[in-house]
Amino acid sequence: MNSFSPGFRGRTHRFEGRLPPGQYPTESFPVLSAGPTPRVPTEAWTFTVTTEDGRARAWTWDEMMALPQQEPTVDIHCVTRWSKFDTRWRGVSVDTFLEDVETAAEYAVAECYGGYTTNVPLEELLDGKAWVVHEYDGHPLPPEHGGPARLLVPHLYFWKSAKWVRGLRLELQDEPGFWEAAGYHNHGDPWREERNWGD
């Protein structure tokens, strides 16, 4: 058996201090999406940072791949209550994309191929807390998991790690994304169980 059920009560002590309240550990990697899976060839993929006054800087796939790469190993936590430990990724820190950007924005909206959006306070993406990743477990990120590239914000619930990411729009005012407008929590901290607006 390669996954744990929500009722699993076995050797959870090895996850002590790493499993947020209300979560259960799994070894599988469930696929959850709000709509059809976009198929974006790397030749057509771009990542664009747009500031609050409309200035934009874009990277092609090859330009992103030429940037310094990092290999974070992180735990991820889905709002549907599963947690997966020690996931291995490869990609570019969001800090790298924003290092030459002048902005007064305090918020970011991740925009994706397929139309999905999610909002994140800008400070939650900086200082080594978030990446644009293109590999998972040593292999190119498959489309069902957000390939060719997705946002990775592991300290927030996994819906904030937007699949098929194509850019960050920086804003002065907070702007709820797809799931936030549907009632999910605006912030999404798994340690506070920020699942819904009322939490």
Residues 52-93 have pLDDT tens digits of 999 999 999 999 999 999 999 999 999 999 999 999 999 999
Residues 78-109 as b or e (16 or more Cβ within 10 Å = b): bbeebbbbebebbbbbbbbbbeeeebebebbb
Query: Domain coordinates of the chain in residue numbers?
Result: 44-163
Cα angle 131, 134, 157 (rounded to 5 degrees) comes to 50
The strand pairing partners of 24, in sequence order, are 82
Interval 158-184 mean pLDDT:
95
pTM above 0.85, yes or no: yes
Mean pLDDT of 145-171: 97
CATH of domain 44-163: 3.90.420.10
- Interacting residues of 36 by C-beta distance below 8 A, sequence separation 6+: 114
Give the model's pLDDT for residue 14. Answer: 67
Distance CA(179)–CA(75), nearest Å, equals 22
Contacts of 52 (CB under 8 A, 6+ apart): 103, 104, 105, 170, 171, 172
